Amino acid sequence: MQTILVTGGCGFIGSNFIHYMLNQNKYRIVNLDALTYSGNLENLKDIEEDLNYKFIHGRVEDAKLVNKVIKEEEISFIIHFAAESHVDRSIMDSTPFIKTNIFGTQVLLDSARLNNIEKFIQVSTDEVYGSLSSEGYFTEETPLAPNSPYSASKAGGDLLVRSYVETYGFPATIVRCSNNYGFYQFPEKFIPLLITNILKDENIPLYGDGLNVRDWIYVEDFCRGIDFAFHKGKNGEVYNFGGNGEKTNLFVVEYILRCLNKPKSLIKFVKDRLGHDKRYAIDFSKSKRDLGWEPIYIFEEGIKHTIDWYLNNKEWWERIKSGEYLRYYEQMYGERD
């Protein structure tokens, strides 16, 4: 059984992907995660005893550790999720984003190349394309035009991957997705923040007029997309994955309020965020044509699954919002970033 190194597997999408891949029972998974503020071991608590899973605590920027893991664990493939990912945090301080998203990617690429990794998947975001007007869609040919330090750091990582393909013939593929939602998402992110605040009857902060548009994709659909790109994607190619789920932020808030039978009076409009992109929308026709992938879940179905999960896992998100889980990990692994 070959082994996949998943970086950042304790995060939202990474943990969902590990569950998805282990359910297929085809690969052994090694999860390298630094357990920064949004990495949570509880996301993978149910598979801790799985003989095909192993967790290693560490940073992708640590070249010595990365080389050791790849050699000792006999890694054949790398799926690279590890990233600082919150736009607001990047505006306050871009340094961690540059370190992890650019330098960390470079460390992984160098180690992967030296150790003859068979396939490298760079997990990226549609935010590298910038912002759209009311019409049109991001395609794989859309020029990169990031508008936040976060998206600029992700674009930098993507360009490094591309350069290794062109320079060294490195076996890498880039996947880009629209906004994910689903199980295990850190509560500072838009949809889990909405759900958890609403459940506690707390105000819902909404930037600007609430009319910024995002294309939402259920996380399980994106995990399938990564799997398809891993098995069918060509080296050097970029594949976009979207959910056919364009919604204004205001619509999302009002829809979740209706699902939970809560009043619109919980909405609190706040000053717009700096560099707030107006609209994202993904054209995934290449992924459909070349990989045979398309989303299964419509937004209204996926969001109901998500709401149910947060309703049934209050202990998980209440520990996060209270800071209890941060204190626990600080005791176990030292102060977290």
In the predicted model, what is the mean pLDDT of residues 238-247?
Answer: 94
Asked if 115 contacts 71 with a C-beta cutoff of 8 angstroms, the reply is yes
pLDDT at residue 331 tops 80: no
Q: In the predicted model, what is the mean pLDDT of the chain?
A: 92
Per-residue pLDDT reduced to its tens digit, 97-121 = 999 999 999 999 999 999 999 999 9
DSSP 8-state assignment for residue 49: T
Q: Is 142 helix (H, G, I), strand (E, B) or coil?
A: coil
Is residue 192's pLDDT more than 50? yes
Give CA–CA dist 316/181, Å, rounded. 16
Give the mean pLDDT of 177-184. Answer: 95
Structure tokens at 322: 């209270």
Give residue 36's pLDDT.
84
Supply the pLDDT for residue 123.
98
Whether pLDDT at 50 is above 80: yes
127, 150 contact by CB (below 8 A): yes
Q: Is the pLDDT of residue 336 over 60?
A: no
DSSP string, 235-300: TT-EEEE--S-EEEHHHHHHHHHHHTT--GGGEEEEPPPTT--SB--B--HHHHHHH-------HH
Total count of domains within the chain: 1
Mean pLDDT of 170-191: 94
pTM higher than the cut 0.85: yes
Q: Is the pLDDT of residue 326 over 80?
A: no
H helical segments located in the chain: 12-24, 63-72, 87-92, 95-98, 105-114, 149-168, 190-199, 219-232, 249-259, 285-291, 299-312, 314-322, 324-333
**pLDDT category of residue 329 using cuts at 50, 70 and 90:** very low
pLDDT at 294: 97
pLDDT for the residue numbered 273: 78
Cβ neighbours, 10 Å, residue 253: 22
Q: What angle do CA 129, 102, 323 make, to 5 degrees?
A: 95
Q: What pLDDT is stored for residue 133 in this prediction?
A: 83
Domain extent, residue 119, equals: 3-333
Q: How far apart are CA 17 and CA 229, in angstroms?
A: 13
CA 50, 52, 56, 61 dihedral sign is negative
The confidence band for 332, taking pLDDT boundaries of 50, 70 and 90, is very low
Interval 236-246 mean pLDDT: 95
pLDDT at 182: 97
328 pLDDT band, cuts 50/70/90, is: very low
Q: Percentage of the chain with pLDDT > 90?
A: 79
Residue 70 maps to which CATH number? 3.40.50.720
Q: What is the pLDDT of residues 133-157, one digit of tens each?
A: 888 899 999 999 999 999 999 999 9
pLDDT digits (tens, 9 = 90+) for 219-229: 999 999 999 99
Least confident range of 16-20, 164-168, 197-201: 197-201
Residues annotated as catalytic (active site), given as ranges = 126-127, 150
